[in-house]
Amino acid sequence: MAKGKTTVYFCQECGYESAKWMGQCPACHEWNTFVEETVEKKTARGNRSTDGSREAKAVPLSQIEMTQEQRVSTGMKELDRVLGGGIVQGSLVLVGGDPGIGKSTLLLQVCRNLAEHEVKVLYISGEESLQQIKIRAERIGTFGDSLSLLCETNLDTIRRVIDREKPEIVVIDSIQTMYNEDVSSAPGSVSQVRESTGTLMQIAKGLGISIFIVGHVTKEGVVAGPRVLEHMVDTVLYFEGDRHAAYRILRGVKNRFGSTNEIGVFEMRGDGLTEVENPSEFMLSGKPEGASGSVVACSMEGTRPILLEIQALVCHSNFGMPRRTAAGTDFNRVNLLMAVLEKRLGLSLGNCDAYINIAGGIRMNEPAIDLGLVLAIVSSYKDRPIDEKTICFGEVGLSGEVRAVSMAEQRVLEAKKLGFKTCILPEVCRESLKEIKGIGLVGVRTVKDAMDYVMR
């Protein structure tokens, strides 16, 4: 293909490519997001391997030798859990999150921990000067000499520095500020983000360097730029939480080297992010005593049980159409469970406003919290508080039955560890569990059984 330039249009929200301008993107259905970019077509070259050699050679799987140390610990147990046990050599990790959530602080603390163990780290920033990074670093603590800083946005210069310094870990903050001189569009555009990520992927795989990339997010909460960006990297981590609140949740949505069900919980303090080793106790802090509409439920995030407080406020509506809101859980699921209560228990909820909240700002959509939602609504409707030492979990069906959930034993043991005396769970789960000393197990088959127990 001969060299030349052509004009194409990219959607700034999802990266959809079109030969002409369109008002609405057919992929993400956003309006007025197409921008014009000039793309240079280059002559097709022969295949090259990731290490720069001319020819690529296939290797049988049985002949590939694995070294003993495949992962490097970040010094933060919560981050290691989300990554699958540590940093894999030659991996490309994308970290996204809202502005001010703590992405740069988290990665700078990781650099500090790695530098203390004589791991050579290169921190490349395209948004801050060296003095600004130094100010933030002094707030976190002291750093070793194994950490080097570079303020640069030109990828050709960054490649030369990496070849010269030969670091083990590289942090790019952020990918939207990097640019490739071969691409004529502005930094942060779809073409630049895609080409920059491709260049960094070649560096990571070819030289065996682990690279962390910081990515900005859109108003919908997804990483800005083309969707192919998430397909190119090995791991995608999202930093969630309200930046005005103390806690942060690190969630893995893609991981080629581990599970995507694990989460890490952190607390933002003046000296940086601190790991929360017991998130259940952290989420239940400040729970009111003797208040109706409050119940503790247990949800699973990967292999970790998390206890959380579900709050409900049900009151008579003064308008023809009752108001329903849900914070921290699925709104449609709440409406479904209220319909089950009306049909199966005869509760007159059709003329009542209902407000549901999961305390602490955490968001949970696991079906196991259905029973907690139901009991919180019933408690508020009848204005009868539920015993503070009672916990519940179970999925509720449309017939009002309480269905079994996975990992029941881990949930019960976590409740026992935090001092709960009674656990309401599906009868099927109770029959499969052995007797656990220190906590009473109450098996229920329907929501009526659960309501009769807590309201007796």
CB 9 within 8 A of CB 34: yes
* Neighbour-count burial of 16, counting CB atoms closer than 10 A to its CB (0-12 exposed, 13-18 middle, 19+ buried): buried
Q: d(Cα 279, Cα 81) in Å, to the nearest integer?
A: 14
Structure tokens at 228: 């192919």
Is 103 marked within a binding site? yes
Helices in 23-99 by DSSP H: which ranges? 77-83
Q: d(Cα 440, Cα 421) in Å, to the nearest integer?
A: 6
* Neighbour-count burial of 36, counting CB atoms closer than 10 A to its CB (0-12 exposed, 13-18 middle, 19+ buried): exposed
Is 370 marked within a binding site? no
Helices in 233-306 by DSSP H: which ranges? 279-283
Is 101 marked within a binding site? yes
Is 350 marked within a binding site? no
**DSSP-derived 3-state class of residue 327:** strand
Is 146 marked within a binding site? no
How many other C-beta atoms can be found within 10 angstroms of the C-beta atom of residue 315?
A: 14
Residue of 13, 2, 4 lying closest to 35 (CA atoms): 13
Residue of 131, 165, 136, 135 lying closest to 148 (CA atoms): 165
Is 98 marked within a binding site? yes
Residue 277: CA count within 13 A, CB half-sphere: 2
Is 99 marked within a binding site? yes
Is 97 marked within a binding site? yes
Cross-strand bridge partners of residue 310: 295, 358
CB 326 within 8 A of CB 356: yes
Q: d(Cα 389, Cα 375) in Å, to the nearest integer?
A: 14
Q: d(Cα 265, Cα 428) in Å, to the nearest integer?
A: 32
Annotated binding site: 97-104
Specify binding-site residues for ATP.
Answer: 97-104
